[in-house]
Amino acid sequence: MPKNEAAWLVAKHRPLEVRNAPYTEPGPHEIVVRNRAVAINPVDWAKPFVGDMMFSWIKYPFVLGSDLAGEVAAIGSAVTGFKPGDRVLAIAAGMGEKCNRAAESAFQRYTVVRPHLTTAIPDSMSFEDACVIPLGIVTAACGLFQSDLLALEKPGARPEPRDRWVIVWGGATSVGCNAIQLAVAAGYDVVTIASPKNHDYMRKLGAAHAFDYRSRSVERDIVATLKGKQLAGALAIGAGSVDNCVRILAQCEGRKFVANCSSPLSIDVLARGDRLRLGRMVAIVPSLVLANLRTRRLSRRYGIPAKFFDASSVFDNEIGPAIFRDYLGAALADGRFRPAPPPRVVGHGLKDIQKAFDIQRQGVSASKIVVTVD
Ligand SMILES: NC(=O)c1ccc[n+]([C@@H]2O[C@H](COP(=O)([O-])OP(=O)(O)OC[C@H]3O[C@@H](n4cnc5c(N)ncnc54)[C@H](OP(=O)(O)O)[C@@H]3O)[C@@H](O)[C@H]2O)c1
């Protein structure tokens, strides 16, 4: 049996510790991946930093991590379409409430994954590139295509032009880079909002127009650009962006719905100090409550629904197969979809994942923090 090792979270507010981990054989409908590269998301460092207020179902010791790429090590008896040795990427379900299983998390050598959340990658694609995709694409796809959110038409090989526009606020985030590509692949035109240094990159990913979120006239400029055009809705990524999107949609034509994946509190506010202490939490709660009330009031005033969503819905709904089985493999193979934002490899081996958390916590701009797994 292969020897497994994991970067364990042994208790809240503690750095990760690399220790042996059980090797879990795949169940009939599962695959085991030998991980070669993993990517870090804000939620990974936020869990140990915040403690039990986040992912309260997680009991210690636990393994974190959602984004992985590697080789198929073993398949369950009912799995079709994959074989040992295949190069794949997958979203790891371990941290999700319904799963809550360390064997299904990414920060270890061997992870149990689900076939409908796994995609073969081309031989020419590095594992470091591939592992930037999973949580970003899943979150973007839920917001854009889920029936209770924007419910857009799904992406295809030759999308029909829909002559409808989608606003992706936060295009340079990991979620945003995936959302721009998916919306364009589904035939929509995209307006996005990011720092000016990333505007060329936003256009390379397919956005028709890019605006600066720090500009005082950003909302006015977007409304002017979208004059006479039909909207299909907005995906709000980043703290506070839901309010910007509601105000913009209120002045545009077409579908008026905002799918929001971010809390009202910027991650920068959360990331100060060595952990979220009680005093700071007490100081933060009123601003969280006020921000939520403000959004609700704005949404009611303009009659524009603004719905928060959590991408863990992908573990059991139709979006997983629509993306991982029906779209992504072929789109990566012929270059229609590219891994974005680009990886910034900051470490080699599970021991470097803690260092990678610290780097992600400092903030990134159109890049994904990646660690290779030996
Ligand atoms: N609900 C869910 O299930 C779920 C899942 C995954 C992520 N998320 C949330 O999605 C958000 C993005 O996560 P991520 O991992 O994709 O982020 P990320 O890649 O770490 O985001 C970094 C980017 O944020 C951009 N940014 C910062 N402030 C902004 C603003 N006011 N407007 C527009 N862009 C801004 C920066 O753009 P510039 O460099 O151009 O300045 C930077 O490139 C976070 O709020 C995260 O919590 C939610």
How far, in Å, is the centroid of ligand 1 from the Cα of 33?
Answer: 28
Q: Say whether pTM exceeds 0.95.
A: yes
Task: Measure 175 CA to ligand 1 centroid, in angstroms.
Answer: 7
Give the distance from CA 123 to its chain's centroid: 24
Ligand 1: which atom is nearest the Cα of residue 174?
16
DSSP secondary-structure letter at 153? P
| CB 311 less than 6 A from any atom of ligand 1 | yes
**Token pair recorded at residue 235:** 């995906």
Domains in the chain and their CATH numbers?
4-132+342-372 (3.90.180.10), 137-311 (3.40.50.720)
| Contact by Cβ (8 Å): 357, 45 | yes
Quick one: which of 213, 139, 149, 212 has its CA closest to 182? 139
**174 CA to centre of ligand 1 in angstroms:** 7
The number of the ligand 1 atom at minimal distance from the alpha carbon of 360 is 20
Q: What is the pLDDT of residue 266?
A: 76
User: Residue 289: which residues within 8 A CB-CB, separation 6 or more?
Assistant: none
Q: Please report which helix (H) or strand (E) contains residue 98, including its range.
A: none
Q: Which residue has the tokens 């080789």?
A: 71
- Work out which ligand 1 atom sits closest to the CA atom of 169: 33
Distance 372 CA to ligand 1 centre (A): 23
Contact assessment for residue 165 and residue 188, using Cβ atoms and an 8 Å cutoff: yes
Residue 365 CA, ligand 1 centroid: distance in Å:
9
- Phi/psi of residue 236, nearest 5 degrees: -95, 115
For 93-105, write each residue's pLDDT tens digit.
Answer: 999 999 999 999 9
Q: Is 192 in the pocket of ligand 1 (CB under 6 A)?
A: no
Instruction: From the CA of 194, give the closest atom in ligand 1.
Output: 40
Cα 369 to ligand 1 centre (Å): 13
Q: Copy the structure tokens of residue 31.
A: 């695959």
CA distances 40 to 54, 187, 346, 355, 359, Å, are: 17, 30, 11, 11, 10
**Each residue's pLDDT expressed in tens, for the chain with a length of 374 residues:** 999 999 999 999 999 999 999 999 999 999 999 999 999 999 999 999 989 889 999 999 999 999 999 999 999 999 999 999 999 999 999 999 999 999 999 999 999 999 999 999 999 999 999 999 999 999 999 999 999 999 999 998 889 999 999 999 999 999 999 999 999 999 999 999 999 999 999 999 999 999 999 999 999 999 999 999 999 999 999 999 999 999 999 999 999 999 999 988 876 667 677 777 777 777 778 888 999 999 999 999 999 999 999 999 999 999 999 999 999 999 999 999 999 999 999 999 999 999 999 999 999 999 999 999 99
Q: Residue 109 has what pLDDT?
A: 98
CA–CA dist 160, 15 (Å, integer): 49
Q: Which two tokens stand for residue 27?
A: 């169940």
**pLDDT given at position 268:** 67
Residue in 173, 310, 370 to alter for ligand 1 test, most ligand atoms within 8 A of Cβ:
173
CB atoms within 10 A of CB 208: 15
Show the beta-strand stretches assigned E in the chain. 4-9, 17-21, 31-39, 62-63, 67-75, 87-91, 110-113, 118-120, 165-169, 189-193, 209-211, 230-236, 253-254, 258-260, 306-308, 343-348, 368-372
Residue-wise pLDDT tens digits, 192-224: 999 999 999 999 999 999 999 999 999 999 999
Q: Output the CA 193–ligand 1 centroid distance in Å.
A: 11
Task: Give CA–CA dist 21/3, Å, rounded.
Answer: 8
